Structure 1
Amino acid sequence: MLAMRLATLCATGWLLIITPAVAAPALPGDFIADLESLQQRLQQGDIEAVGARALFQAERLSGGNAADRWARALYLQLAAGAEARAGRPGVAAERLREARETPGVEAAQRDRWQRDEARLRLAAGQHERGADLLADWLARHPDDVEGHWRLARALANLERWEMAADAVTRTLAVTPQPEASQRALANAVYRRAGREELALALSEAGLEGSGDPAAWREAAALAQRLGDSVRAVAIWETGWRRGVLTGAADLQRLVALHLAGGTPARAAEHLETGLAKGQLEDGEEHRRLLAQAWEAARDRERALAAWEALAQRTDSGADWLYLGQLAYAWGQSALAERALRAASERGREEAERWLEALTGPGRDCHASVMMT
């Protein structure tokens, strides 16, 4: 019965409940009663007194027989719990180290204390020592998913990016749906380790059901940095359709991505919709971009109509000249002549040469030379 009660002793707060080894030496009843009393007082918040008493007992039992050493280790564990509850994880880790290194402590118990010491050291900001302890422990316990995440975070703090990326990869293999904080850590680690393709795949997987605009923008930006414009525009287009990406800035970015990704017709369609709905300012800049998009899409009717509407709006000789040249190249002679005459009236002298090519003798050959 006493042994069963002793098995419930733990250092609370940072530590887990620890079951002493079966082969641990039997303890006198007064030790067990004292340990249980201190544990109860610790749970009631008598932190400093319990810590002092546990440490005093541990020091008093130093150098005794096997039972004394085992009791000393348990008192050190209790002292570690008090230090952890007091917000001193670094000191708590030292107490656990002393307990772990006590001669005669069974290997399985030392192993459990090593895990807890590692966590305490990481909590105290002792990333290098904590990471080393945890990595050693995970080598014997590879199925501890949370331990791998903790190790990855510690290695990231140490800027050991390759090792952190390996830890993330091992963990993701058994964590198909990581939490948002875990995904953010993995993404950052992969990118710092130069494994951006893995970062992008992870980002895309996390977009399903995500309503965070920043996540969609980041994934698209990463795809573009990898030179995958098609993937970038697909991500942004999906985010736009789902209503996650909204507003003029996001629409302008969508248009730009379509242009960069080789889908200018979709860019033009988005521009037209945005202008019609008032999502975009109906100004010269957007109207010019619309004309350029339809031209890039080789939609001659819409491109010429857009360029003519722009020329009428700006009344610029340069715009009328460009419209005339484009109309001529696409075989729209009537529009070309009208545009070129408008350009000439607005001081564009080269329009006269184009008009001559359009209406004068030998115009086909002359126009061919001019186009060249």
Structure 2
Amino acid sequence: MQWRQWGYVATLCLSLGMASTGVNAAGPALAPDMVQALESLQQRMQDNASESAIDDAKSAAERLQGGNRADRWARALFLQLAATGEARQGRDAEAADLFRQARRIDSVDADSRQRWLNQEARLRLRAGQTSQGAQLLERWLEDHPDDRDGLWLMVQAQATQKQWTQAAQWVDRARRAGDMDADRRRLAASVYQHAERYDAALALLDDQLQSESDDPQAWRRAAALAQRMQQPGLAAALWEAGWRRGALAGEDDLERLIRLHLAGGTPARAAEHLETAFEKGTLSRDSEHRRLLAEAWTSARAHQKALSAWRALAEDTQAAADWRQLGELAYGWGEWSTAIEALRQAREQGADPARTWLLEGVSQLESSDEEAAREAFEAARDAGASQAEAWLASLDEGDAGKAPDVDASPKAPTPQTPSDTP
């Protein structure tokens, strides 16, 4: 995972200098010429951090290795300066190694050791040494639990390693410490989502929607999360709210809104959006969109609107499947004349003759045309419909109620659930 993937880049607050008055105060007293050498090199680092200045700092630290306590303290300070220069040159791993050397020198005071531990941790994270950096940062946070930047940096480190449970626990700590801006809120919500703490993630996204209602990505993330929580109705409601606010706009967002309504149990709203889009010219009246409209009205069980939509589609496509769908819906809803017409059209276009003749026979019988019904059942029998003989026998006996039922429940193709990827 790339460091910037979450949209949150931790600020590395590196201490790049040291006050000349604090050189002796922090550790053993240094000779005046040593203080002067340190201060001179410090100034060169602040002015330029050139390669020569970095090399001079390393050379000075090397010369002092193995000296007395004051020499070891001065060595640590020279290593700090060299680390500062390396960091300014963008060589984070090298800078981290120098801070590690500095903090492990026995003459270093506790405060400096802690400060350099923190700097090494952040540099290793920035250098991509995530596991090592996270371990060091955790040590720092044990003694500095109120370091807000450090807490959020730890969240990022755990997320980078895809340690979602641990990352979520660090989010909990970081939130208690406060100071959660928009970037951190997005990071926290993403971590909670990956850790499958969906309620917490949705609560954060809801807060974000209140403060950033015009941000389309916020609405997309919230709807995607609702889908992952197996709440398609909530996903549709969120997308609808974003659409009404104007944060979501355009043909792609409209089509997703329609499909979310279909998946979320509000098909009539999907159909209304489609019809409005047709009227305004936002969506073309092609076969795909016409079929979507027909499916929506069918799912909503709006009989006349569904039949009208399927008829318009079938007349446009002249496809056997579309005529048959119209015929079976009309049959299931008792619209006998529509069923007869559509089933004939379906058969002419190549639909299964056995079933279409059988359904037409029942429709003719329900329309009180026994002669037409008998002809249809005979054709169904000749086409291989196993129930046709029973219907013919019932006609001969004058009791059509003894014939077997024909299953033709009004159904539309199941709409495809839209992906929950924002």
TM-score tier after normalising by the smaller chain length: 0.7 to 0.9
8 Å CA contact retained: 1:357, 1:363:
no
User: What's the counterpart of residue 301 of structure 2?
Assistant: 298
Residue 363 of structure 2: which of 354, 361, 366 is its match?
Answer: 354
Q: Which amino acid aligns with 1:48?
A: E
What is the Cα deviation at residue 25 of structure 1? 2.9
Give yes or no for contact 1:122–1:154 (8 Å, CA) kept in 2: yes
CA distance in 1, matches of 2:143, 2:107: 21
1:65-124 C-alpha deviation (Å, 9 max, x unpaired): 443333222222112212222332222222222221222322122111111121122222
CA deviation after TM superposition for structure 1 residue 196, in Å: 4.4
For the pair 1:262 / 2:265, whether they are aligned, the reply is yes
Name which of structure 1's ranges 255-264 and 308-317 shifts more when overlaid on structure 2: 308-317
Q: Residue 141 of structure 1 corresponds to which residue in structure 2? A: 144
**Structure 2 residue 285 is the aligned partner of structure 1 residue 282:** yes
For 1:162 and 1:317, locate their aligned partners in 2 and report how far apart those are by CA, in whole Å.
Answer: 53
Counterpart of 1:206 (choices 202, 205, 208) is 208
Aligned residues of 2:86 and 2:94 also touching (Cα < 8 A):
yes
CA contact (8 A) 2:259 2:270 kept: yes
Greater displacement, 194-203 / 40-49:
194-203
1:340 and 2:327 matched: no
Compared CA separation, residues 354 and 53, structure 1 to 2 (3 A): same
> Take 2:363 and 2:26, find their aligned partners in 1: how far apart are those partners?
102
Q: 1:132 aligns with which of 135, 139, 144?
A: 135
Q: CA RMSD in A?
A: 3.4
Aligned-partner Cα distance in 1 for 2:73–2:271: 78
Going from structure 1 to structure 2, the CA distance change for 1:266 and 1:367 (only over 3 Å counts) comes to farther
Alignment match, 1:48: 51
Unaligned runs of 5+ in 1: 1-11
Q: Distance in 1 between matches of 2:319 and 2:104?
A: 86
CA–CA separation in structure 1 for the residues paired with 2:179 and 2:404: 62
**Structure 1 residue 276, shift from structure 2 partner:** 1.1
Q: Structure 2: any 5+ residue segments left out of the alignment? A: 1-11, 349-355, 371-397, 409-422
Q: Deviations over 1:295-349 (max 9, x none)?
A: 32233443344344445545667656655665565566xxx32552464476553
Q: 1:165 aligns to what?
A: 168
> In structure 1, what is the Cα distance between the partners aligned to 2:216 and 2:403?
51
Give the Cα–Cα distance (whole angstroms) in 2 for the partners of residues 76 and 295 of structure 1: 75
SS of the residue aligned with 2:367? helix
Whether the 8 Å contact between 1:121 and 1:129 is mirrored in structure 2 is yes
Contact 1:308 1:320 in 2 (8 A): yes
Name the CA distance, whole Å, in 2 between partners of 1:262 and 1:280. 22
Match of 2:386 in 1: none
Aligned match of 2:71? 68
Q: Judging changes above 3 Å, is the alpha-carbon distance between structure 1 residues 78 and 358 closer, same or farther for their aligned structure 2 residues?
A: same
Cα contact 1:320–1:339 (8 A) shared by 2: no
Residue range with higher mean Cα deviation, 255-264 or 232-241: 232-241
TM-score, length of structure 1 as denominator length? 0.81
Distance of aligned partners of 1:130 and 1:343 in 2 relative to their CA distance in 1, 3 Å threshold: closer
Does the 8 Å contact 1:224/1:232 carry over to 2? yes
Distance change (3 Å), C-alpha of 1:320 and 1:357: farther
Highest relative contact order (Cα 8 Å, sep 6+), 1 or 2? 2
Q: 1:284 to 1:295 in 2, by over 3 A?
A: same
Corresponding residue for 1:8? none
- 1:354–1:189 CA distance, 2 compared to 1 (3 A): same
Distance 2:298 2:127 in 1: 62
Q: 1:109 aligns with which of 109, 112, 134?
A: 112
1:230 aligns with 2:233: yes
| 1:34–1:164 Cα change, 3 Å | same
- The aligned length equals 357
In structure 1, the partner of 2:420 is none
Q: Secondary structure at the match of 2:246?
A: coil
Q: Check conservation: 2:57, 2:81, Cα contact below 8 A.
A: yes
Percent identity, aligned pairs only, is 48
Partner SS state of residue 359, structure 1: coil
Distance change >3 Å, CA 318–CA 95, structure 1 → 2? closer
Structure 1's 43 and 23: CA in aligned 2 closer, same or farther, altered over 3 A?
Answer: closer
Q: Is the 8 A contact 2:155 2:168 kept in 1?
A: yes
Q: How far 1:256 sits from its partner (Å)?
A: 1.5
> Structure 2 length normalisation: TM-score?
0.72
